[in-house]
Structure 1
Amino acid sequence: MISVLFVCLGNICRSPMAEAVLRHQLKERELEEKVSVDSAGTGDWHLGKPPHEGTRSLLDRYGISYEGMRARQVLINDYKAFDYIICMDSANERDVRKVFGSCSEQQTKVFKFMDLLPDKPGNDVPDPYYTGNFDEVYELVSEGCGKLLERIRREHQI
């Protein structure tokens, strides 16, 4: 099974939104048995908490499930457990690479979400915890997850 991990700061806004959206897209294409999806944060402030109310409200609006999702922190073991580790911003990527340290020889498995959207301005997915703009993040996440799914299908012939 191919595995994807989305990473943001607290694992309550951007990365759980991406996890839920990609799961939804996989289910629509009947690929949920071929690709697993998870999310984590670099910080430990929200461990065990459900996604942020803004994320939940937006996902509810689009009929996308976030059932059972709880914040967790990225772990060194995640490097071997996941094929794709996608960070929501530059600081998340830097922090993830610190966690993985010398085990991250294969640097291409860790990359920024906005690398999936090279035609969009900016290097980072804005954090709606601070901006309050969950709709902007959803638009980026929805399009980026579609691009990621295309990439996975191409790289793994599924």
Structure 2
Amino acid sequence: MIRVLFVCLGNICRSPMAEAVLRSKVAQAELSDQIEIDSAGIGDWHVGEPPHEGTREILLKQQISVDGMKARQVKEGDLSQFHYVIAMDASNLGELHEMAGVNPSSSISRLMDYVSESEIEDVPDPYFEGNFEEVYQMVEEGCSKLLEHIRDEEGI
């Protein structure tokens, strides 16, 4: 089983959006039995809460489910249990590298690293800006490219 973990600051906006979008893409590709997706936050402020209303609204428009999703905090053990740990921005990436130490056992990168034609490196946090549509477009493209990468890397 290939395991993917998306990480943002509080696990209520960007990372659950990416989790839901990639789950939908994986299901459409009939790869749900080969790829497992989860999300977590650097901080613990929202542990146990559902995704942010803005995330739920944009995903509902796209007919993508967030049923049963609850925020959780990333744990050190996640970095050895997941093959791909995907940060939403440079700050999250730095925190993950710090947690992983010098020899991480998982691939740690930013979502936008998979969108080679993009000059944007970080997915902005819509919690502060309210730009959920813009963030959704970035997450949609990033998840498509990430899935292509995983399929190529893993031969599925």
Q: Same fold (TM over 0.5)?
A: yes
- Answer yes or no: is 1:26 the counterpart of 2:26: yes
Partner of 1:37: 37
Give the TM-score taking structure 2 as reference length: 0.96
CA contact (8 A) 2:114 2:149 kept: no
Measured after TM superposition, the shift of residue 103 of structure 1 is 4.7
Measured after TM superposition, the shift of residue 53 of structure 1 is 0.2
SS of 1:99's equivalent in the other structure is helix
Deviations 1:26-45 (A, max 9, x none): 11111111100000000110
CA contact (8 A) 1:79 1:103 kept: no
Q: How many residues align?
A: 156
- Answer yes or no: is 1:137 the counterpart of 2:128: no
Q: Distance in 2 between matches of 1:135 and 1:154?
A: 29
SS of 1:21's equivalent in the other structure is helix
Q: Distance in 2 between matches of 1:152 and 1:85?
A: 12
* Structure 2 residue ranges without an equivalent (≥5): none
Q: Distance in 1 between matches of 2:28 and 2:112?
A: 23
Q: Distance in 1 between matches of 2:45 and 2:99?
A: 17
Measured after TM superposition, the shift of residue 7 of structure 1 is 0.3
Q: Which residue identity lines up with residue 90 of structure 2 in the other structure?
A: S
Residue identity (%): 53
RMSD of aligned Cα (Å): 1.1
- Answer yes or no: is 1:119 the counterpart of 2:104: no
Q: Distance in 1 between matches of 2:99 and 2:154?
A: 27
Q: Distance in 1 between matches of 2:148 and 2:116?
A: 15
Q: Which residue identity lines up with residue 155 of structure 1 in the other structure?
A: E
Partner of 1:101: 101
Deviations 1:136-156 (A, max 9, x none): 011011111111111111111
SS of 2:18's equivalent in the other structure is helix
